[in-house]
Amino acid sequence: MCQVGEDYREPVPKDPPPPPRPGHEQQKCMKWCVKCKKGAPVLVIRAGDAFCRDCFKAYYVHKFRAVLGKNRLIFPGEKVLLAWSGGPSSSSMLWQVLEGLSRESAKQLRFVPGVVYVDEGAACGRNPEDRAETLAEVQSILRSTGLPWHGVALEEVFGLPQSVLRHFSQEPAMGDGAYKEAVDGFIQQQQGLGTEGARDSPSLSPGLEQLSWPSPHNPQSPARPHTAAETEALSRLFNSVRTLTAKEELLQTLRTHLILHVARTHGYSKVMTGDSCTRLAIKLLTNLALGRGAFLAWDTGFADERHGDVVVVRPMREHMLKEVAFYNHLFAIPTVLTPAIDTKAPEKASIHRLMEAFVLQLQAQFPSTVSTVYRTSEKLVKAPRAGRAASPSRPCCLLCLCMLDVDSADSATAFGAQSTTALSLRQAPALQTQAKEPTVPCCSPGLCEDRGCCRGARPSEREDLQACVIEQLCYSCRVNMKDLPSLDPLPPYILTEAQLRNHRAQAMQEIQEFLIEDSEDEVETGQS
């Protein structure tokens, strides 16, 4: 695909080659819509098919429903959180859901949606006035939807509990049978109660009760207003990151944690994101380049169940960005333009930017590029995780929350090489500390809650903290964290959880040693 060459030109011409097409000839063959054969076409999609406005709308809406229907993942009555950024794809998704809810037909969407908006202004270095302006726009749009919504600022990551980083396993009661049962149960209830009542009733079928978040986990409401100090801390964090690539990854990580937290505290068991087909194709290649190959199936698949209790789904994954942009324009879908972290950045500023330019450029010459790459993402299987899901102590990456499926013992891999270098680098100071105060942690896990103790730690302790965070990351997150000169500005929940996991691992090791000795003693005493 990457070869620019003659051997590629020969077989391709069956597809209409887009670059130089004589205008009048093209107009002749695209005079009418390919579907209804009578409407005047307004856009060309799928490598050369012209659609009229009405047929395009039907096609677009159908595709959204088909993705949801095909996957049978969202149960009737289930609470679903729509992650809305104001951008084109997520706005389109939001309006598709609204339209699906308002329909009177049998195919009406039956889940209960809410919307979450994350204000990332501080990470992008926007001033408070601009942010307030965007927020006002966001609020007016959200109010017009009539859905419950949660507006959170990225600053709130500084108040997140550690539990965000934990995996809560969930019974996989998602078989076809269970889905049908739930649908039947829902329809019966609906007939009994009338539409409105059914929608609001808390437990709709026996299978659904377990879907709601059970524990009163976090007393903190995410609607908590953020302080100026937090804004400053967040911009300090982002300013300290050396590369735009790492900044984008960090932003994505924190955003995901925040959305996950909102979903859990409000009892949403699904989160919908607006990733389009084009974005996913770019993401697939970007993540490969970032060393996230092992997690591609989670990062780009339709459903991402890495968090256990909250599943991320991507219903826009079959819509091309061109279709999304046209739909939004033709049907006046409101969007909010917010400058992102990479706005106006040059093409080679980050791996993300570079890959985007690469894919879109190829797409311009070969119109099936995006769909080919996207189809690859469809074929990826998540087998290894399903096999090990049963074990309770699966180690997860502290940041991306993917299962650590890297073998640190195998020094022949890139990962092994990386950990050996890291180990040898910090061997010397670590040995010194151990000589003075063997295995005494810098503070007990409970005390870590108040930030000061670990952050103002002495240099050697800070190195220990750094090492214990790094140890709990996947390959890609380790590489990203290299672009952070210090881990101190990270939000406290990440650091605290890292230490807690470290202590737990140490304690586990101690117990294990003790148990082995104990059993050996028993054997010996038994013998004597």
Interacting span for another protein (CB under 8 A) from 209-217, 294-302, 347-355, 419-427: 347-355
State which of residues 34, 44, 174, 370 lies at the interface with another protein (CB under 8 A). 44
Rg (CA), the chain: 26
| Cβ burial, residue 46 (10 Å; 0-12/13-18/19+) | middle
Supply the minimum distance, in Å, between the C-beta of residue 360 and another protein.
Answer: 4
d(CA 6, CA 290): 31
353 binds another protein (CB under 8 A): yes
Among positions 202, 346, 384, 452, the unique one binding another protein when judged by CB under 8 A:
346
Give the pairing of strands 149-153 and 112-119: parallel
DSSP conformation class of 165:
G
Q: Which of 35, 39, 42, 451 binds another protein (CB under 8 A)?
A: 42
Choice from 27, 191, 420, 434 touching another protein (CB under 8 A): 27
- End-to-end CA distance of the chain: give it in Å, rounded: 73
Closest CB to another protein among residues 354, 389: 354
Residue 27 CB, nearest approach to another protein (Å): 7
Residue located via tokens 């607006």: 274
**Closest residue by Cα to residue 257 from 347, 140, 160, 331:** 160
Closest distance of CB 248 from another protein, Å:
9
Closer to another protein at the Cβ: 279 or 292? 279
Per rule CB under 8 A, is residue 39 in the interface with another protein? no
Of 466, 479, 85, the residue nearest 246 (C-alpha)? 479
Size of the site for another protein (CB under 8 A): 41
30 forms part of the interface with another protein (CB under 8 A)? yes
Nearest to 150 by CA among 241, 63, 38, 271: 271
- 241 is written with which tokens? 């990151």
Minimum separation from the CB atom of position 325 to another protein (A): 5
Closest to 233 (Cα-Cα) out of 12, 474, 495, 473? 495
- 481 vs 25, 33, 139, CA distance in Å? 55, 51, 35
Rounded to a whole number of angstroms, the minimum distance from the CB of residue 361 to another protein is 5
As a whole number of angstroms, the distance between CA 195 and CA 187 comes to 10
CA distances from 408 to 142, 187, 423, 477 (A): 47, 51, 11, 15
**Residue 338 CB, nearest distance to another protein (Å)?**
9
CA 119 to chain centre: 16
Q: Does residue number 337 form part of the binding site for another protein (CB under 8 A)?
A: yes
Measuring CA to CA, which residue among 372, 351, 378 is closest to residue 286? 351
- Name which position in 215, 343, 527, 528 contacts another protein (CB under 8 A): 343
Q: Is 255 in the site for another protein (CB under 8 A)?
A: no
Among 41, 76, 159, 274, binds another protein (CB under 8 A): 41
Cβ atoms of 275 and 321 within 8 Å: the answer is: no
Q: Which of 293, 339, 416, 445 binds another protein (CB under 8 A)?
A: 339
| 37 lies in the binding site for another protein (CB under 8 A) | no
Among 102, 220, 227, 361, binds another protein (CB under 8 A): 361
Binding to another protein by residue 21, rule CB under 8 A?
Answer: yes
Position 28 contacts another protein (CB under 8 A)? no
Q: Answer yes or no whether residue 340 interacts with another protein by CB under 8 A.
A: yes
Considering the complex, state which of residue 229 and residue 364 has its C-beta at the smaller distance from another protein. Answer: 364
Q: How many helices (H) and strands (E) does the chain have?
A: 20, 8
Q: Which residues is 432 bridged to in the sheet?
A: none
**Which residue among 92, 245, 363, 496 contacts another protein (CB under 8 A)?**
363
Nearest to residue 318, comparing CAs of 30, 21, 45, 27?
45
Among 261, 314, 352, 501, binds another protein (CB under 8 A): 352
Residue with Cβ nearer another protein (357 or 453): 357
Q: Could you say whether residue 319 binds another protein (CB under 8 A)?
A: no
Q: Which residues pair with 158 in a beta bridge?
A: none
One symbol per residue from 76 to 95: x for binding another protein (CB under 8 A), - otherwise; what is it? ------------x-------
**Helix 53-71 with 321-330: angle, nearest 10 deg:** 120
**Secondary element (H or E) of residue 314:** none
Contact with another protein (CB under 8 A): which of 179, 268, 298, 326?
A: 326
> Beta 49-52 vs 41-45: how paired, if at all?
antiparallel
Binding another protein (rule: CB under 8 A), the pick from 205, 256, 265, 278 is 278
Q: Which region among 40-48, 59-67, 397-405, 409-417 touches another protein (by CB under 8 A)? A: 40-48
Q: By CB under 8 A, name the binding residues for another protein.
A: 18, 21-24, 26-27, 30, 41-44, 50, 88, 278-279, 321-322, 324-326, 329-330, 337, 339-347, 352-353, 356-357, 360-361, 363-364
